Chains A and B, each alone.
Chain A
């Protein structure tokens, strides 16, 4: 049986005695942190232990020592002591006296037993064996601290000012950190290229996005790109043959035509029994759009007209 007797490693105990004298320092109520409790303030190094003592309060201002005294915390009625019921070492100490174990076997208890000499002789064997008292090892399960979250560094005002010397309010009015809504560099670059009057733009690299890993990146890309396109000027088309001005085409039809149209009931619909190209030609003819070699250019005029008319209508409707 292994017998780790730590007592052989007892170190002198004066520091601990000091601790007992501090017993009354645990007054105060309301330990804020429950069983969390990685605490870190005003920590003093053991004298002569470290090179850079942390106890320089006297230098940089009064050292506050414990947290239960003074400072804003005290003013707010907060102390860092443990809750009264649990925290008082005095109280606990009273209950920690070593108790005598339960009664051991005591042969004299059986002295009055009425037995034969033969049996009495046998009883003598009970005390003949001296049971061994084993020391059981005491291994410590070190208390593993809670994981420690990070709140980052405090601002030491080590920063580059604005080149124009204007006040940026950083670290004073607002914490010096970028806003969470940062522009997408690729989208912004595309936008800048679109607006640039320079023609010697070098081709740009577009970043790749993993749609599985970054679904949010994809959504935001689509949003950004469509917004960018919405700001672009219209592409202009140059027609191979002259086309009438959209404004001219927008003019109202002659009254006779309007009347004929209302008599006919409606414009010919796509149900007309002709092929698509013929139907396109018919529609263009009605709207005074010439069709030259290709119907495509005429259709472009048609759709441009449609859009203008629609927005015009919208204005009318709104008014």
Chain B
């Protein structure tokens, strides 16, 4: 096949000298017989599995030696289910050469999340380093401290056990202890480059994103196509920059990988949703709930962002919170659910969770920790203290609607109406801006800031959009009255009186109109509005007082040279 050969030859080598051609021929002949060892060494487990399965299929009987390699390849390819099948087959064979198959089975079960079965298989397996490590991890999964300590004591001062201990530290969020172990291992053996990746993981968890990236670049210099390292790099970029930067890193991984690379696909799909701000969340995340711990949390976040409080709550309500993220999200769904459905129990639970996070030593000085403390104080009505916490993080939330909404209302509730007005006006979300809570506090802020006409305009706008205008009008009327903004109060009470002509309404309108009159006389209100006030009074039918008041006003007007 001369044609193909020249085609596949590198430019500059074409034509092929005799020697070149011969060498290439030799190489291709060697390649013709794929060697298991080559695939294993390259970590091309798909190749290894294909080769082994091919021989297995065409052999007369099962070869236990081959099966052990097949199990190994499946296992390290991340296919614990297939590995388990192989080891289960091996366990039943009379000529099984390995004494460790039971432990291998338990290990596969562990990765499949079958912890109970993994435990019972591991316990009856032959004692070994792996068996102890496995039971150690299972004790952690079950939260059994006593057993954990027992297996911990049995760990030996060997690399495998030290690695296992480091990972337990990591899972218990004791990242500094984990780093110490990894650093010691790396110091003892500079070729243990994987430590760079693990330490980078710890730094990421500690929010030291730059340090994480520094270490990753060392690892990636040797293994530029490491999927987990590229993924971690993407996560760091997500934290440091944005989703776009993160996505670019994942794209690079996609370009590098061959179609038969199936490892970590769930992780990559999951993070794609994260980096794209929730795109495709409903197509990707529900399937991953249970497989990836973050998938459940992200799905709940997605529902919350879609304002689907019910689904978010359902997803989180049975979660036994362990990580700060889980605590926070549980608090958030309970707060949202409690407010939407008016459930005081949920609100109380939310308060408790918020408080736990906000006070924890590790979270109290983080942004989410401050948010939690502020949320707790907000729910219990300590608004001046809410401001202490929100002030400390406000630089990070300049254009955040949720933040400005809460911050503005807390400001208003504390009587800081100037800041309240400014902050509430920064809220962009139309749904938030239509809520009575928002309108009421904004109107009050306007009135307190001496801008009653803006409050009046707010009412008119609300009225035209069919909002909760009546209550707003009532609020504006009374607040304006108490602040001496009688002109707006008079107009507001006029409408209220026409809606509901009670003696009280008349009292209010009368007071407001006379208040305007007083301000005209005092020279703080233009004489032009006297006519408006008189026509407002005329709206009240069958009231002898109306004529009396109007007469007095007209008389004063004429005496002061007004055209009445």
Contact = CB atoms under 8 A, between A and B. Distances in A.
Interface stretch (A136-144, A279-287, A290-298): A136-144
B384 A96 contact: yes
A40 B173 CA distance: 7
A217 interface: yes
Contact of A180 (B201, B227, B335, B366): B227
Contacts of A128: 507, 510-511
Contact of B261 (A76, A154, A155, A182): A182
Interface in B34-61: 34, 39-40, 42-47, 49-51, 54, 57-58
B134 A158 contact: yes
Contacts of A189: 50, 54
Given A42-B361, A136-B441, A70 B301 contact: no
B13 to A, nearest CB: 11
A66 B34 contact: no
A173 B192 contact: yes
Contact of B259 (A76, A100, A217): A217
A188 B47 contact: yes
Query: Chain B: interface secondary structure?
Result: helix
B174 A64 contact: yes
Contacts of A102: 417, 448-450, 483
Query: Chain A: interface secondary structure?
Result: loop
B225 A65 contact: no
Contacts of A188: 34, 47, 50-51, 54
A143 B414 contact: no
Interface in A40-85: 40-46, 49-54, 56-57, 59-68, 70-73, 76, 78, 80-83, 85
A35 to B, nearest CB: 4
Contact of B169 (A6, A19, A60): A60
A238 interface: no
B311 interface: no
A32 B32 contact: no
A41 B205 contact: yes
B515 interface: yes
Given A65-B362, A82-B370, A1 B76 contact: no
Interface stretch (A222-230, A247-255, A256-264, A265-273): A222-230
Interface residues of B, number: 247
A99 B365 contact: no
Range of interface residues on A (Cβ < 8 Å)? 35 or more
A147 B277 contact: yes
Contacts of B436: 2, 136-137
Given A25-B365, A104-B484, A131-B482, A148 B391 contact: no
A49 B330 CA distance: 14
B455 interface: no
A318 B152 CA distance: 69
B456 interface: no
Contacts of B197: 175
A147 B32 CA distance: 48
Nearest to B111: A158
Given A129-B508, A145-B301, A158 B137 contact: yes
A314 B15 CA distance: 6
B228 A229 contact: no
B339 interface: yes
A113 B518 contact: yes
Contacts of B458: none
A231 to B, nearest CB: 5
A173 B191 contact: yes
Contact of A125 (B203, B219, B511): B511
A65 to B, nearest CB: 5
Interface string B228-243: 1101101100111000
Contacts of A158: 107, 110-111, 130, 133-134, 137, 164
A126 B198 contact: no
Given A40-B323, A181-B225, A96 B387 contact: yes
Given A57-B174, A160-B104, A192-B51, A105 B396 contact: no
B511 A127 contact: yes
Given A39-B366, A150-B292, A157-B164, A142 B375 contact: yes
B176 A73 contact: yes
Contacts of B441: 136, 138
Contacts of B194: 155, 171-176
A195 B172 contact: no
Nearest to A150: B294
Contacts of B174: 42, 57, 60-61, 63-64
A241 interface: no
B16 interface: yes
A240 interface: no
B481 interface: yes
B209 A59 contact: no
B322 interface: yes
B457 to A, nearest CB: 19
Contacts of A106: 484
B475 interface: yes
A64 B209 CA distance: 20
A108 interface: no
A122 B260 CA distance: 91
Contacts of A97: 384
Nearest to B348: A9
B298 A147 contact: yes
Contacts of B484: 104-106
Contacts of B499: none
Given A122-B552, A182-B44, A188-B47, 15 more contacts: A6-B381, A25-B364, A35-B400, A40-B323, A41-B173, A41-B205, A60-B152, A80-B366, A86-B394, A93-B388, A101-B448, A147-B298, A157-B161, A173-B192, A179-B225
23 contacts: A16-B355, A26-B364, A35-B397, A38-B328, A44-B360, A70-B176, A82-B370, A86-B396, A92-B387, A101-B417, A113-B522, A126-B515, A126-B518, A143-B402, A149-B235, A151-B235, A157-B161, A163-B72, A173-B191, A177-B78, A178-B261, A220-B259, A318-B15
